[in-house]
Structures are given as C-alpha cells and as structure tokens.
Amino acid sequence: MIVNNSIDEIKKRENALLIIKDWILNKSRDSLYDLTGLSGGFIADSSEIDLLETYVGPAIFEDELQKVGIEHMGGQKVLPVNRTSSGILATILALVGENTNVVHYLAKLPAHPSIPRSCELVKANYSETDDFEKFEIPENTSLVVVTGSTMDHDVIDLDIFKKVISMAHEKSIPVMVDDASGARLRTVVFNQPKACDLGADIAITSTDKLMPGPRGGLMAGKKDLIDTIKVKVNQFGLEAQPPLVLAMMNGIKNFDKSNLVESFSRRNELFDLLSVNFRNFKLTPTGVMITPEGLNDELDLTHNLSDDDVAFVFSFLLLKEHGIITIPPVSMPGASATIRFDLSTNDAFGLDLGVLNKKIISSFNNLKELVNDEDKCREIIFNF
Ligand SMILES: *Cc1c(COP(=O)(O)O)cnc(C)c1O
C-alpha cells in the first residue's frame, strides 16, 4: 500500500499542488485542464474587493447573499460556511446529542466522511445505507441525513427522497440534506425540486461544485434551525469570511444551467470514444468516471498495489504528463479515489474529446509499465 492513511493523503495533495504550480510557472495556466468539476472560481470586481473589510464586507454581501442564496437553495434563511464539511459539522454539533442515533440514506455508499466523523465527535450512533428496504428510523434518533447526490454523482431517487423526509417528519425528527453537488445536479439535470422545497429542514451545498464559485458551503433551511446552527458556526470559527461570501454570491449569480445541460450531451461522446479501449468507464451526469476497482480490472496484471493506489498513480500520470487535473491527486483525506472527467466547467468547454481520449490511453499505457515498480509509483505520488 502506498497511500495508507490521512497523513499520506495530505502528502500526495501537497505534491499535486507543487506539480500544478510548476506547470503554471513553466508552461501556462491555459495548457492545464481542470476536469474535477470543482472550479473554485472567484468572480469579483474591484469595487467589490475594496469593500472586503471585516465588518463592512459582511454588512454588504451577507444581506445580498440571503436573496441570491434563497433563490438557489430555497428555505427561509441561508448561512455561508467555510466548507460543506463545516456546515455538516456545525449541524451535528447543534442538533445531535451523545448516544442518540443518526441515520443516513444515500443512493450509493459511501457517505462523505465528514458525516460519520462529526457523529463520532459528538459520540452519536451513526448508520448509513443505500438500500431503502433496510432504511429505518429507530427510537432516540436526533437527525436524519439524506445525500442528494453522492461524491461519485449517484443521484437519489425522488420518490425515496420524499419517503425518507416524511418518515422523519412523522417522528418530528429534522432532516439534513447533503446536497454538495446535488443542489444543481438534481435540480438542473434530473429536474428534481430543491431539497428545502421537498421539506428538508436543512440543506447544504458546496459552492464550487458544478458552479463557478469558491470552495465553500452554503446552508439553507428553516430560520430557527439555521439560527441554532449559526451559533455553533460562529463559536467554532466555521463561518465563511467576507471574501468567500462575496465570491459565493457572484458564483451563484453566474451559475449557468446550460453548461450542465451541455456537458450532459458531450459526456456520451467521450464515453463512446473511451469504450473502444476500456470496459469500465461509466457515465456520470456531467462526464465519465472510472472506479479504482474498474481501473485495476482494465490493467489485467498481477501486482501489489491496492485499487486506490492504482487510481492515484494513474491520476498523477494524467496530471504530470498532460496537465489533466482530476480529484484524486488534489483531494482531502477520505475522499473517493474514483477518477472523474467532468465536462461541466470552464476548462472542458474548449477541450477536443478525441485528444482527451488519446491522452487517457497514453497515460494508461504508461500505468501498465509502472504498476510492478512500487518504488517508482511511490515517487510519482509523493515525489520521494
Ligand atoms: C464534496 C462533498 C462534500 C464536502 O465538501 P467540502 O467542500 O470538501 O467540505 C460533502 N458531501 C458530498 C456528497 C460531497 O460531494
């Protein structure tokens, strides 16, 4: 095993960021292709930037974000936080007591790690399932969690979504929806209602997923719950700072549904090209992906690497050889090692899919040469 624990994951991320920096300094930003689907945009004009003072900034932008955010998310009030994970943590700190149950339904396991980790912190009993037949809400449950769209973009079935919410509300238990990408994916591509309009008490989205905003979290929901959570957010410094609030607001204003819709059609073209050489690519709503297991299966070789390690080596090769950024090299600890090629953000718009296909094949052939040399693989991931 090469990437063994959270420390290793931080090291591989640091190396990936250095590779990206070198690429930009020695080549250009234009020749890099960020296909993560997380664009991290920062749209702001200079008159807005001049207002970014500690108290003036929030006075101006937080009020405007209320309007824009409620339009995007529904609900009675929004609360900007540092990351989606921060919002999840604050909600659990605020609503979940020791020894109470938290149950989570999602279309496909696993859940985002911030949910079980936050439950562990407050010593709650956490369980998750992707089988609705097995989903139940036991006595002494303090929070029901629903994921709208998973890290790998598996979208929840709308009927099940409604049923989970009504099961929770029958018992007067609040529902938190992790709608990190779902707030856009579900609504735009799958025509589902906003989570708050479906009755969710709290919904949270990531403002850099499938929209031109910065990494940050935007929570929306019932006013009294948001206020309770806001206390925890402020107590633990989880709130979004003025620059983030400004860019979130502009990111939402500049969110263009047609980019998502267009990527929905281009993904088929890429999928067909890749399927000539590979069996295990799958369509996602806005691109294609291959799981670590699927990638390993393509190799058809015996070697000592774990599936995740194979995915890390491959994604680092794509980055080093072609400037293609996917999530695994740059992700935070615990994220999925699935490699997604997302066509919904800026860098993908001008990309020739035939050329992308050739680059993927070329790095895959190099991966084949490398998997038996564990030291080399380690060097590619960590640079030592
Ligand atoms: C990305 C994601 C998160 C976490 O977002 P961060 O900005 O990394 O905190 C949580 N849940 C799901 C389903 C996600 O896809």
Residue pLDDT, tens place only, 34-74: 999 886 789 999 999 988 887 888 888 999 999 999 999 99
Q: pLDDT class for 141, splitting at 50, 70, 90?
A: very high
CATH at 52:
3.40.640.10
Q: pLDDT class for 261, splitting at 50, 70, 90?
A: confident
Angular region, 261: left φ>0, alpha ψ -120 to 50, beta rest: alpha
- Specify whether 108 is located in the same domain as 172: yes
Closest CA to 319 of 302, 341, 334: 341
Q: How remote is the CA of residue 89 from the centroid of ligand 1, in Å?
A: 12
User: Lowest-confidence range among 22-26, 284-288, 356-360, 370-374?
Assistant: 284-288
- Domain presence at residue 218: yes
Confidence at residue 236, expressed as pLDDT on a 0 to 100 scale: 97
Minimum CA distance residue for ligand 1 atom 15: 151
- Specify whether 276 is located in the same domain as 367: yes
Reduce the DSSP state of residue 175 to 3 states and report it: strand
- Domain presence at residue 41: no
- Domain presence at residue 37: no
Q: How remote is the CA of residue 245 from the centroid of ligand 1, in Å?
A: 18
Q: How remote is the CA of residue 216 from the centroid of ligand 1, in Å?
A: 9
Look up residue 176 and give its DSSP letter: E
Both tokens assigned to 307:
């599936």
CATH at 283:
3.90.1150.70
Minimum CA distance residue for ligand 1 atom 6: 84
- Specify whether 150 is located in the same domain as 277: no
Confidence at residue 156, expressed as pLDDT on a 0 to 100 scale: 98
Q: How remote is the CA of residue 282 from the centroid of ligand 1, in Å?
A: 21
Q: Which atom of ligand 1 is nearest to the CA of 84?
A: 9
Q: Determine the residue of 178, 185, 219 to mutate for testing ligand 1's pocket, defined as the one with the most ligand atoms within 8 A of the Cβ atom.
A: 178
- Specify whether 161 is located in the same domain as 225: yes
- Domain presence at residue 15: yes
Q: How remote is the CA of residue 181 from the centroid of ligand 1, in Å?
A: 8
Q: How remote is the CA of residue 313 from the centroid of ligand 1, in Å?
A: 23
Q: How remote is the CA of residue 320 from the centroid of ligand 1, in Å?
A: 26
CB-based contacts of 104: which residues, under 8 Å, 6+ apart? 111, 115, 126, 127, 128, 129, 144, 145, 146, 147
Question: Alpha-carbon distance 48 to 54, whole Å?
Answer: 13
Residues lining ligand 1, judged by CB closer than 6 Å? 83-85, 112, 114, 147, 150-151, 178, 180-181, 206, 215, 332
Q: Determine the residue of 83, 84, 105 to mutate for testing ligand 1's pocket, defined as the one with the most ligand atoms within 8 A of the Cβ atom.
A: 84
Q: Which atom of ligand 1 is nearest to the CA of 150?
A: 13
148 and 111 in contact (C-beta within 8 Å)? no
Q: 131 or 263, which is more confident?
A: 131
- Sequence letter at residue 372: N
- Domain presence at residue 265: yes
- Domain presence at residue 101: yes
Q: Which atom of ligand 1 is nearest to the CA of 87?
A: 9
Angle (CA) 129 86 111, round 5°: 15
Q: Which atom of ligand 1 is nearest to the CA of 216?
A: 7
Closest CA to 324 of 32, 41, 29: 32
- Among 253, 285, 320, the domain boundary falls at 253
Minimum CA distance residue for ligand 1 atom 1: 180
- Specify whether 218 is located in the same domain as 361: no
Confidence at residue 29, expressed as pLDDT on a 0 to 100 scale: 94
Confidence at residue 341, expressed as pLDDT on a 0 to 100 scale: 96
- Specify whether 57 is located in the same domain as 182: yes
Question: Alpha-carbon distance 307 to 296, whole Å?
Answer: 6
Q: Give residue 194's domain range.
A: 46-253
Q: Which atom of ligand 1 is nearest to the CA of 181?
A: 15
Confidence at residue 13, expressed as pLDDT on a 0 to 100 scale: 97
- Specify whether 86 is located in the same domain as 233: yes
Q: How remote is the CA of residue 305 from the centroid of ligand 1, in Å?
A: 27
116-149 b/e with 16+ CB inside 10 Å = b? bbbbeebebbbebebeeeebebeeebbbbbbbbb
- Specify whether 50 is located in the same domain as 186: yes
- Among 253, 280, 297, the domain boundary falls at 253
Find the mean pLDDT for residues 69-94: 98
Confidence at residue 342, expressed as pLDDT on a 0 to 100 scale: 92
- Count the domains in the chain: 2
- Specify whether 143 is located in the same domain as 188: yes
- Specify whether 352 is located in the same domain as 314: yes
- Among 253, 270, 292, the domain boundary falls at 253
- pTM confidence score: 0.85
Q: Check whether 204 has a pLDDT greater than 90.
A: yes
- Domain presence at residue 79: yes
- Domain presence at residue 332: yes
Q: How remote is the CA of residue 151 from the centroid of ligand 1, in Å?
A: 7
- Specify whether 233 is located in the same domain as 106: yes
Question: Alpha-carbon distance 155 to 147, whole Å?
Answer: 8
User: Lowest-confidence range among 56-60, 192-196, 329-333, 370-374?
Assistant: 56-60
- Specify whether 131 is located in the same domain as 216: yes
